[in-house]
Amino acid sequence: MVDKVYSEEDSYFPHPPIHRFTSGIYPDFESLMYASQDSLKSRYPRYSRFGTPMTDTVECEITRLEGGYRSLSTCSGLAAITSVLMSFLRPGDHILMTRSVYEPVRCFVMTYLFELGISATFLSADEFGHLEDYVTDKTKLIYVESPSSNIFEVTDIDAVAKLARLRGIATIIDNTWSTPLLLNPLHHGFDVVIHSASKYLAGHSDAVMGIITTTEQYYEPVRRYLIKSGVCAGGEESFSLYKGLKTLAVRLKIQQGTAQKLIRMLLTHPAISTVISPDLPSHSGHEIFCKYYRQSNGLFSFSVKKPTDQKRDDFLRELKTFKLAYGWGGVDSCMIPFRSPDWMTQDEEQLFLRVSVGIEDADMLAAELSSALSKL
Ligand SMILES: *Cc1c(COP(=O)(O)O)cnc(C)c1O
């Protein structure tokens, strides 16, 4: 697929070029007819919404890393998720979903899917352990995010895939936390893997993009939906992803090492109430985590006794490197507060923060965080 649109001259350069175009140009009528019949096989790009050389390149690279049949790129991780949900579900269907799923996904389900008459049951990691109790005749899809947002609930994916295959239910996983380097869910029997490329994959907080990798069975339905609904990815973002993938392994290694160092410091810091990481034996998902994941990443959460507004601001002022930001997985360290480990309620006693570690010096980050915590 990829080589078809690159000219021979392109191979003299270290990176494929970004082609900025809306429509491809056909040399003659016959190639136009052929391209409109089968855009996958034709060597001529038809219209950039159907894919560009750069989106083809990153799709092939993600497929190589993740396994599966082929990948499809989208304008955001959230668009990848909502597109897959829309392409699979019809009124009357029921879905099972991780309760601590990325919040905008839950919002989408509870507004647009509910309005379409699609019902959902949100399950904790424990409830996923008794999955058969929640499956109904209407269950069409099981959607897992593991480790999940902020509290990193871990799901036993082999058990989910096994039951789903038996019952003919499609399985989808948001694998953003893991990247294709830490876990490949398609090898465990999942049907569709989704990544927000905006996090570790592109890795520099400069691009919003999503990517979907599927088995052969689910490729066409998802591709058809993306084409019919106009969801596609841009060339510049795809190039950010292309570049990010080249350094993903080194970044993750540094970020994981630094996170471990910070976690060790936090565990003995007097201001800290809890540290949340699936890498810690105290985490309820630790055992399953060790079974599946090659290593951890640079994310963890912690809580402190709820400070006064004054103390909270003193703490933040002391943090020069860590920025207050929602995104994660970039090379710059940041943190963001979240409501509580319970997905619905606001904890009145504790302040919860999720940290995303960048690639700055680990000792410097530990000293800065420790000193900021002493302000609380
Ligand atoms: C950020 C995020 C998304 C959404 O990705 P965007 O590219 O920002 O749309 C989906 N899932 C998880 C787990 C995320 O952290």
SS3 47: strand
Please give the distance, rounded to the nearest whole angstrom, from the Cα atom of residue 196 to the centre of ligand 1. Answer: 5
In the beta sheet, which residues pair with residue 351? 304
Tell me the CA distances in angstroms from 263 to 123, 177, 270, 363, one per residue in order: 28, 18, 13, 12
| 346's tokens | 């606001």
Protein residue with least CA distance to atom 1, ligand 1: 196
Residues with CB under 6 A from ligand 1: 76-78, 102, 145, 149, 174, 176, 196, 198-199, 208, 210
- C-alpha–C-alpha distance, residues 241 and 248, integer Å: 10
pTM for this one?
0.95
How many other CB atoms sit within 10 Å of the CB of residue 44? 16
Per residue in 296-311, pLDDT (tens digit) is 999 999 999 999 999 9
pLDDT for residue 35: 74
Are the C-beta atoms of 158 and 188 separated by less than 8 Å? yes
Closest ligand 1 atom number to CA of residue 208: 7
pLDDT for residue 80: 98
Please give the distance, rounded to the nearest whole angstrom, from the Cα atom of residue 346 to the centre of ligand 1. Answer: 22
Are the C-beta atoms of 345 and 339 separated by less than 8 Å? yes
Please give the distance, rounded to the nearest whole angstrom, from the Cα atom of residue 125 to the centre of ligand 1. Answer: 20
| 130's tokens | 């008794």
- Beta strand 192-196 with 210-214 is antiparallel
Q: Side by side, which strands form the sheet with 139-145?
A: 70-74, 210-214, 192-196, 170-174, 139-145, 94-98, 119-123
Exposure of 24 in the CB half-sphere (CA atoms within 13 A):
23
Whether the link from the prior residue into 270 is cis, omega within 30° of 0, is no
Question: Which residues of the chain have a pLDDT value below 70?
Answer: 1-8, 38-44
Determine the residue of 73, 74, 75, 78 to mutate for testing ligand 1's pocket, defined as the one with the most ligand atoms within 8 A of the Cβ atom: 78
Span between the terminal Cα atoms of the chain, in Å: 56
Please give the distance, rounded to the nearest whole angstrom, from the Cα atom of residue 129 to the centre of ligand 1. Answer: 25
Are the C-beta atoms of 238 and 280 separated by less than 8 Å? no
Please give the distance, rounded to the nearest whole angstrom, from the Cα atom of residue 257 to the centre of ligand 1. Answer: 23
Determine the residue of 102, 175, 338 to mutate for testing ligand 1's pocket, defined as the one with the most ligand atoms within 8 A of the Cβ atom: 102
Per residue in 260-284, pLDDT (tens digit) is 999 999 999 999 999 999 999 999 9
- C-alpha–C-alpha distance, residues 191 and 299, integer Å: 26
pLDDT for residue 41: 61
Protein residue with least CA distance to atom 5, ligand 1: 77
pLDDT for residue 43: 64
Helix 235-267 vs helix 53-66: crossing angle, to nearest 10: 40
Closest ligand 1 atom number to CA of residue 149: 13
Backbone angles phi, psi at 20, to 5 degrees: -95, 110
